[in-house]
Amino acid sequence: MLLPYIDSINGYIDPELTRVKYSDFNNAVSMVRRSGQGSWMGKMDLKSAFRLLPCYPGNVDMLGIKLDDQYIINKCMPKGCSISCSTFDKFSSFIDGRC
């Protein structure tokens, strides 16, 4: 569903495509308990993870800005884009073998 007045790139993205269901905290606690005493845990920083995913070439013109007399075109998935989380979740699920 598109908004009558669209003032950002996110307004053109179908909200159905942006839905993500993350595991809840209780699920994480259960996994830790099942692992048992002496298990190792890891932490991952996904701060720049979206930069691993290229954007569809037909959309890069909507992801650019003009600064002074130069154009800066974003060719990778930006973090603030409403579809970024969903796309990265699908990508990481594929890599992790959950698909």
- What digits encode the pLDDT tens for the residues 28-64? 889 889 998 888 888 777 767 777 888 888 887 778 8
pLDDT of residue 2: 53
pLDDT of residue 70: 93
89 within 8 A of 20, measured Cβ to Cβ: yes
Number of CB atoms found within 10 A of residue 86's CB: 17
pTM for the predicted model, two decimal places: 0.61
User: Domain extents for the chain?
Assistant: 49-84
Q: What is the mean pLDDT of the chain?
A: 81
The full DSSP string for 21-76 is: -PPPHHHHHHHHHHH-TT--------TTGGGGSBPPGGGGGGGEEEETTEEEE--B
pLDDT of residue 98: 60
